[in-house]
Amino acid sequence: MTDSWKLTLPCTRAEAEAIDAAEMTIDAVLMTTEEIEDDREHWRLDAYFEAEPGAETVAAIRALVPSATGADVVVERLGDADWVTMSQAGLEPLHVGRFYVHTGEAVAPEGTRAFHIAASRAFGTGHHETTSGCLAMLDGLSDARFAHVIDIGTGTGLLAFAAAHLWPEAAVMATDIDPVSIEVTRENAALNAVPGIDLVVADGTLDDAIVARAPYDLVIANILAGPLVSMAPEIASIADTGATIVLAGLLETQREAVVAAYAACGCAIEAVDRRGDWSVLRLRAGDVRFVADGPFDPKGRDGWALDI
């Protein structure tokens, strides 16, 4: 085993939440920690690497936390240690409904479905409010029946795995724009003995495999408010009439804009699960299937990462 490295910078709670919710392309495990209880300004970002980070990587990490401009970057060698194990220190198992999510050795409560989701290069260990809220929303739908499910922006695959457990007869597809996330999801599916999930690297819904499988009676999209708004016509167009749509990755202050974008496509809000500053939405597609006015242009998604 080679030496691992850790980079540390101060950050704010808002920056920490944005980091936790965003899809990352940096080859590291990023962990954020509250340093002073209930203090929005005093948080910490730790980035774990398999090798010493270079100047470009340090600059990319710095760009995630503008409040740390001028602060000293602390880079330390961890020695002969597993970088993923080090990064997971302090992550307690998460129990949501019938799901039990852990990052290492753990004994699941009787009657739960355990998922081992290691902190990795993809977002979605279940600990962020967006992911845990989606798990709770899916758990609450367990009495429903779904035959065609899609998880857009799957990250580690956790939500797709939960759907496959709740509806074992359903055809489940998991997609992500990041090939690394699909690689991680494939590894996690094998680790957790989750069979039969179709994995697709795709920009939103713009892939022949996704369109060919449509319409879906359950659509899950845990991404960010910007893409949720810009992709509303895409997502509505692959949803069946009366389909259930679960959306997450949005702040409560962004809820109105997201709901309005889907209302314009015939979707109505049915439930909201608010968790801290974050909200998880459940919508119902219209009784007439939505048809877009023209072809979708991914160039129209500029500014995905911006608040709306």
Q: Is 131 annotated as a binding residue?
A: yes
In the block, tokens 């992550």 appear at 91
> Please, which residues have CB within 8 angstroms of residue 67's CB and are 6 or more apart in sequence?
10, 11, 12, 15, 41
Q: 101 by DSSP, 3-state: which?
A: strand
Q: 153 labelled as ligand-binding?
A: yes
Q: Please, what is the end-to-end C-alpha distance for the chain in angstroms? A: 44
CA distance 42 to 34: 7
125 annotated ligand binder: no
**DSSP 3-state of 281:** strand
Q: What is the DSSP letter of 298?
A: G
Encoding tokens for residue 254? 């962004």
Alpha-carbon distances of 230 from 187, 298, 304, rounded to whole Å: 30, 9, 8
Q: What are the strands of the beta sheet with 74-80, ordered from one edge?
A: 29-34, 43-49, 3-11, 74-80
In angstroms, the Cα distances linking 244 to 5, 88, 254, 285 are 43, 34, 20, 6
Detail the residues annotated as belonging to a binding site for S-adenosyl-L-methionine: 131, 153, 176, 222
Known binding-site positions: 131, 153, 176, 222
